[in-house]
Structure formats: C-alpha cells, structure tokens
Amino acid sequence: MSDKEKIYYDRGTEELKLKNIRAHKLVQKFNNSDIEDFTKKEEIIEELFGSVGVNPSIEHNFHCDLGYNIHVGDHFYAGYNCTILDMAEVRVGHNCMIGPNVGIYTAGHSIEPKDRNKSGYGIPIKIGNDVWIGGSCVILAGVTIGNNSIVAAGSVVTKDVPSNTIVAGNPAKILKSI
C-alpha cells in the first residue's frame, strides 16, 4: 500500500471533532427513529451519507465516523450492528447485502507505539455490485471486493477479493469461483 493511497488525519482536532459530532447526531437520530417510519430513516441516511441510491435499508444500531465518505448504490441493505469507520471513502455498488455485526474499517494507525494514539490514516474500500457479506465479517482498509462475490460469515478480509468468487476464513481465502 503506497502512502499516496493513505489519507492521514490528526485525532482530537477541532475540525475532526465537529465532523464526528455531526455524524454521531445523525446516527443517534437514525438509531432512535420509529422502526416503521421508513421515509424518515431514508431521509436521515441521505443526509448522513455522501451518496445513496434508491431503496436503502439499514437496521438499527448502525455506526460510522463521518458518514459523508460512505457511498452506496441502489437496493443497499445492512443488517443490525453495522459499523463503517469511514475516515476514507467506502463505495458500495448496487444490490449489496451486508449481514449483521459487520465491520468495514478504512482506519488504521502506525505500528510504531510513539504517538500512535495521536494520528491515523484511512485507506478507501470498494465493494462491487451484487456482493453478499455474511454476518460478523470484518473488511479491512484498502480492500476491493469484486462484483458478484460472497464473503462467508465470520471472515476477515485483508486482501482484494476478485469478482465472482466466494471467500471465507481468517484471513479470508478463495474457496471457489461462482
């Protein structure tokens, strides 16, 4: 991973605090909204995310860092307890399903202990069209998941997933082509 792909940030700056507060207020509003008020929930997601296709559906207890770095296509679905750490862009294609308890993490920190807690970096994540991510998966910074692929439940994706494949495990490895 080259340094050009990393987006560096300093933790605790006033600017970052304000961005987090904006996102956290909208997330709180979303998570506390009436479960039957689909229109209101969709309006909040459209305000929170950078871009949203038609018919997004996200279950409660959703969390994110900034929100505006998240871009989802048409018919996006995320199950309960989805967390997207979007210090860099997360782009998700059309017709994607994300199971419960999934973490999508663009954020990282230095391996050197000195000042590790003072700064960090984000590396974009791309998820193609018609992707299914099973429950309790973790998608790490810099990963691209190709179209039509499946990430089996409980997997930790540390490297790119080619289109039309099923991956599983920790770290996730290709099981078969679709």
User: Catalytic: which of 24, 63, 75, 109?
Assistant: 109
Exposure b/e, 121-144, CB count within 10 A at least 16 = b: bbbbbbbbbbbbbbeebbbbbbbb
List the strands of the sheet with 83-85, edge to edge.
Answer: 63-64, 83-85, 103-105, 138-139, 156-157
Q: What are phi and psi of 166, to 5 degrees?
A: -115, 130
Q: Is 94 annotated in the active site?
A: no
User: What are the residue numbers of the active site?
Assistant: 109
